[in-house]
Each structure stands twice: as C-alpha cells, then as structure tokens.
Structure 1
Amino acid sequence: MKRAVILGGTGVLGRAIAWRLIRAGWAVDMTGRDRTKMPADLAAAGARFIAAERRDDAALAGVMAGGADLLVDAVCYTDADARQLLPHLAAVTSAVMLSSKAVYVDAAGNHVNSDVAPRFDAPILENNPTMRPGTGDYQSREGYGANKVAAENTLLGSGHPVTVIRASKVHGEGAALPREWMFVKRVLDRRPAVFLAHAGQGADHTTAAVNTAALVERVAAVPAARILNSADPDAPNARQIAAAIARYLGHHWEEVLLDDSAPAGLGDHPWDFRPPLVLSTKASLDLVYEPVGTYAQTIPHQVDWLVKAAAAGAMPGTGDPSLKHYLDYSREEQFTAGSALRTRQRPL
C-alpha cells in the first residue's frame, strides 16, 4: 500500500486530499497539533492522525521515518519551513507544496494583498511575475506572498520532484475562511434580497478543495519539479456564486445589482476583482488531470457542512473578521428604507 503524509492535514485542502487518496487505496498519515481537529469520519475511514508540530525537527523526522510515496505540505509558509523538508525529500517519491495565487503580481507590482488591487487582463499563467522572495511576518499582508515565494524557490531548487500548487479562493468542508457563509447565512436568515456591489460582476477564481485533491493525486503519479495553478474549471462571478448557493438551498431572493453610485460598503463581497482575477489551469489539464466538477457542482459539499454547523449552534467563519462586515445588514436596511427594491435583470 502506498503511503502519503499530509503535513497540517486537518485543514480544508488536507481533508480533501486525504479523502481522495484513501478512496484510491492509499495509507494516509495526517499531522497536526490538535487531535480534536481530526475529522472522525476520516479516522474511521482509515486515516491516521499523528500529533506533531510542523516546525519541530525531531517530530518531523519521526513522521518521515521510512519515507513516503507522496508528501503534501499544507503548512509550508517560509523559507525556513522549506529547508526543514530538504533532509527528507530523498526518501519521498513525489512531494507537493501547497502555495497560493497570492504570490502573483501585476505589471505595476500589485498583488491580492496590496492596498491597490492588482489588475490582470488575461488568465494568469504559472510563469507570471511574482513577489520578490522575502522573510519577516508571513501572516502579514505583504509578508504572506513574499514568504511563500521564498519557500517555493527553495523546494524547486532542491533537485527533488517537488510540485508547487498555487490555489485561489479555496472552498470545501473544513474551510477556516468559508467566504460563502455570507450567502448561506442570508438564506438561513430568509433575507428577501441579496445586494451585490458592481452588479456582482467582480470575480476571484474559486478553487474547490476536491479539485486540488484530484490534481495532487495526478501529481503523485507523475513526479516532477514544476508549478501548477489549481482552480475550478469555471470562474464564477459573485452574482453566479450567490445564485448557485440560493438555488441549491431552494431559496429565492431579489437581486439588487448596484452600480458605482451605491453607498460605500453596500453589497461588498470577497470576490470583487474587476477585471476578474482568473488563473490559467492549462498546465494542470495538460498533465491529464480531471477536475471533479465546476463551482456549482462542488459547492454543495461546503454548503451542507455550513448548514449542519449552524444547526448545531456553531458559528462558521469566526476566524474571518471580514465576514462580520459582509453580514452587516444595517446598510441594506437603510437603503431599502429610502427606496423600493427593483431588480435589474441581466444575463448570468
């Protein structure tokens, strides 16, 4: 039986990858600091949880003892993290570093965490310019992408078959930042209307965790040093995302498609990039990788998880402070108090 090790495996991508590999007959070991975050259904399916601190050299050596057919690092954020892996890569057939599209910069040097939003007029290829490699606080807006680039460079230059996978806005069960909660919560609150800034035309390419998992499984079969984008086969805008979620939950609301004259903050959402930010996935498809499905086909898994969590009294997305802004209905109430809602129907 082939062995896979997923470092930091209890997050949204780690879970999806574990399920994909288990169903394909792999033995899967998942590491993490908190055993309570290990999904019970994954453990019941045969995944093994190993309590280990990612940055503890001795713990990492224990996890990697005997090597692995596939190593997936879901928590490699810095050059130091990458260098910790180097002594173990000779005993790994194929390795994957999960990175992010946050590394890309536009012609003006702006990136998704910049004060000025980037502008990409075409789908972003893997050879698009990136931020300069850096150190410092990887949890800061400027430090996140720069540290990721440094880690990528170290692993890609190691001489080992490491695939860097750059995902976009990830969705799936276990997401720490379940952006779609802003629409699911509106449905659960039976809101009669959904407000969308810039007519909901803004888009930031979505990435189903299950699609990334399918790509990882393919990468395991064809080891190499390379960079691959991971995103859904479609790139829905915010209006299409809201419609897909409402449709799945059987809810009808009035669409209020706002223009630039709308009050500041009204209709804000996390996908508001114009022109749309889209990743090219041609390189992944050329690898004969088959996506699990489109956004509308894959989002129900996360929606069901969010609805179940809410029914159990949990509040999804507590780790994402921006959700409080997106779920503040006061601007909508003020707007509707001053004018009657009129839906402007436009093609999706």
Structure 2
Amino acid sequence: MESAISDHLTCPRSLTRRVPDDYQPPFPMWVGRADERLQQVVMAYLGVQFRGDEQRPAALAAMRDIVASFDLGDGPLHHDLTHHADNQGYENLMIVGYWKDVSSQTRWLHNPAVADWWASDQRLAEGLGYFREIVAPRAEQFETLYAFQDHLPGVGAVMDGISGEINEHGYWGSMRERFPISQNDWMQPSGDLRVLSGDPAAGGRVVVQGHDNIALIRSGQDWKDAESEERALYLEEILPTLQQGMDFLRDNGESVGCYSNRFVRNIDVEGNYLDLSYNIGHWGSLDKLERWAESHPTHLRIFTTFFRVAAGLSKLRLYHEVSVFDGCDQLYEYINCHPQTGMMRDAQPVKHVRSTT
C-alpha cells in the first residue's frame, strides 16, 4: 500500500489526517505518478459558444481550427474535445489541452498564429463566442484518483505512470489528503473573483481575475468498452444521480460556492458523441467543494452508488482530478459570450472611481 503523495513531495506533516495510520481502504484505487522533473502543469479549457443549428457548422470549424493550432510548436501533449449545453440555451464546444510545463504552453500561447487569432477583431464580428480558462497548478497543488491503471485521461496523460494501490481514499477528506500541499497548508482562498476589464453584460472582450486557491475538479466517466451489464449500471443507476447533482450545480452553484459547473460529453472532431463524459467544476475553495460533497443529497446519492458498485467495476472507468492554483497562475478570458458563462457569472464588477476634478 502506497501513499498517494509521491516520495519526492513528502515532507514532515503539520496537519493531521482524518483517519488513523492503520486505515485500510475498502477497495483498490490508484493515482498518477510523475517524477521530480514535473514542477507545474497547465490545463487549458478553450471554448466555442454558439446558439442554434445554423451556427453549428461555423462553431465546429472554429473548434477544428483550435485543434489544428495544437500542431504548432509547443502544443499540448494531450487534448480532448467535448460538448456542453448550458442553462441559457447555448451550446459550448470545449477543447482541453494539457502541458507538463508552463514555458512550453506560454510559447504556444504567444505564437503569432495563436495570439493574433485571439486578438483579431474578426472574433468580435463572426457571431460566435469564445473563451479560454487556463490554470497552472504546481505539482503539489493537484491530486488524481483512478479506478483503473492504464491509458490515464486528463492530467494523467502527461504524467509518467501509475502508482500501486494507494491508502488515501474511501473516506471523507481523502481528496484533500491526496494533495501534497495538504501536509502543511489548508489551501484557504484569499481575494475575490472580479472583472478585470470589459463588461459581461455588454459582451465583447472580458477578462476575469481569479484569486488564490480556486479549486477545479474534473470528474470523468468512460463506458465505451463496458459490456451490457456495466453499461446498464452506468446509464440506469449512476448517470441519473450524477445528472441530478451536476444540474443542481449548473443551475444553483452560486448558493454553495461553485463558480461554474459544466457536465460535458466527449465528441470527435466532427461533433459526434463518444461514450465518455466528465464534469468540470470551478469552486471558490476546496472547503466549499468538500462541504457540498459531504452534505448535499445530490452528491451523497452519487457517492453511495459508487461505493456500492466500485469493487465490481471491470470496463467502466471512473476517475477524477482536483487542483488549486495561485491567483497569478490563472487566466479567464471571454469574447462575445453570454454573461453567465464560466467565471463571469460570479465575478465582481470593476469599481469605477468618479473623478472629482
């Protein structure tokens, strides 16, 4: 039995764990492993927003253009494509890229072909919305958990491998305790989410500034190789409770500290659905994510269903990754998106100081 925290990230602990040293988890789970060369990763959620079937071809073409830009130098080592229908009647195509160092992602982002495309006035005039939500947690600021050991999705795809069976899972609080930084840091938020430039209500270009220790969870489901019994288990038992919880956070997240919640379905470059999905949730803090997970009926139903079936999973692949970030390692930018999109909904407006002269 291993610790979820890699040896090179282990240090004397000043914050105690929730379980005793001899705790034994109820079933096996694993985490992604990377060596000390991995100092910081980048997760870039790039979106195309549209409304109605008449805009779908243009949105898909824009998505493919973004994917093509990954072939430039310093593109991501891994990416996937998803679709999300939000509660304002808009559809969102999202391209998610992962880099294993900040410098390469920065070079890609500032490549003239990428930077000029984003900055072009044409983005304001073509009738589509665009966004990019880019975060860069340090190695000690993210954790992973997998019910399988191969072909890791998400951030696991840029790590070096997989652990043995790990100890820190199967109890409330285990998510936090898989973070290396949790050994000595409560990961408390500081500062506010606020609009740095632009006006969400007016459209156009908007930049939102994040604060320290915003938490991001990606929680995924892969049933593409599941046989009939497990497929039915997912579609008939797990998915309905999962959908209820995700819809609650999409529609009422502000009441529990969730800034943005998107339950997405994976697609191919033509927009066809695949048998994979995941949830993307931005939270005001890890505390608020934990509080909802431990107490809200919608998540308790998800959790108890998973516990009931976890030991018998064969081809159904469930996982998650959770990260926190420093304020300076976040970028939230929107072009022509509706004001409820992503981090704009809860961002505090810019305060204009009236001149006295």
On whether the aligned pair clears a TM of 0.5, the verdict is no
After TM superposition, the score normalised by the length of structure 2 is 0.27
Q: Could you state the TM-score of these two structures normalised by the residue count of structure 1?
A: 0.28
Q: Point out the structure with the larger helix share.
A: 1
